[in-house]
């Protein structure tokens, strides 16, 4: 697969995230359906969080089984540092640039939360792009093609994960959705370009751990917004439904050999 073909297909895999974004334009919605859909988004992110940890643990465990203790120490340190930076970096950003503009202890505005979700997913998708580019660069055409199809399907689900907090809101435009999709899906293209010429397990682990830390923060914010007694049943149902949809999508990819 040529470089041009690889980056074109990598871009398509990233842009499928836009398929899930238009549902965020729904404006008229009661509190309970809105809580269900918002926590449906959280359920997708919870599954993605655990899926990322699985992807991080594979290379770390591989070097440990090989008794490469130096490599193990490096990857473990990168994982811990990335997780901490992803989590604490968003906390610091929120306190410095976002929360200070609102009343103390007030939850984040849905638009700000959606952009943070997009950033966390973007970090994850950069690692997916690296996998696509590395496979194509090594000449593993069939596997690279499966990755492109699989990640493209997965990104379509992640698109709804971004706009879950926006459902029922009236403070954003199509331009905002376009920006959120670019933040979340664009890194797939960038990772594909870099991965085609440069293979690095350490870089992949770093971006995955940054994504895990960011999602850890984001999931906490979504619970803060929606885990209240009056709507907890609907929130719980949405959380379960979102997690199961993401899980079943992942099983389809497993069956396809991705």
Residues 213-242: what's their mean pLDDT?
Answer: 86
Q: Give tens-digit pLDDT for 45-67.
A: 888 888 888 888 999 999 999 99
Mean pLDDT for all residues in the chain:
80
- Counted domains in the chain: 1
Structure confidence at residue 34 as a pLDDT band (50, 70, 90):
confident
In a domain? residue 25: no
In a domain, 26, yes or no: no
Which structural domain, as residue segments, surrounds residue 203? 3-20+31-255
Whether residue 196 lies inside any domain: the answer is: yes
Alpha carbon dihedral 17, 175, 216, 203, in 10-degree steps, equals 60
Query: Is 61 domain-assigned?
Result: yes
103 confidence band (pLDDT: 50, 70, 90): very low
Question: Does 209 fall in a domain?
Answer: yes
Give residue-wise pLDDT tens across range 117-170.
888 888 878 877 887 787 777 666 665 666 666 667 667 777 777 877 777 666
203 found inside a domain: yes
């Amino acid at each position: 697969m040529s470089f041009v073909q690889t980056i074109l297909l990598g871009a398509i895999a990233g842009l499928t995230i836009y398929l899930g974004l238009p549902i965020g334009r729904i404006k008229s919605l009661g509190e309970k359906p809105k809580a269900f859909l918002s926590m449906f988004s959280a359920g997708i992110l919870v599954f993605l969080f655990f899926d990322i940890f699985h992807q991080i643990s594979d290379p770390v465990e591989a070097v440990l089984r090989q008794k490469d203790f130096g490599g193990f120490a490096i990857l473990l340190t990168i994982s811990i540092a990335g997780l901490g930076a992803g989590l604490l970096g968003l906390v610091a950003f929120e306190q410095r640039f976002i929360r200070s503009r609102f009343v103390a202890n007030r939850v984040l505005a849905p638009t700000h939360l959606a952009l943070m979700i997009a950033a966390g997913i973007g970090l994850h998708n950069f690692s997916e792009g690296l996998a696509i580019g590395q496979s194509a660069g090594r000449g593993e055409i069939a596997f690279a093609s499966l990755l492109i199809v699989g990640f493209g399907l997965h990104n379509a689900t992640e698109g709804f994960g971004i706009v879950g907090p926006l459902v029922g809101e009236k403070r954003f435009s199509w331009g905002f959705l376009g920006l959120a999709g670019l933040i979340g899906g664009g890194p797939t293209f960038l990772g594909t370009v870099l991965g085609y010429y440069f293979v690095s397990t350490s870089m992949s682990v770093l971006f995955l751990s940054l994504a895990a830390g960011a999602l850890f923060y984001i999931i906490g914010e979504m619970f803060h917004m929606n885990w209240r007694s009056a709507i907890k049943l609907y929130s719980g149902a949405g959380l379960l439904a979102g997690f199961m949809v993401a899980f079943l999508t992942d099983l389809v990819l497993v069956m396809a050999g991705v």
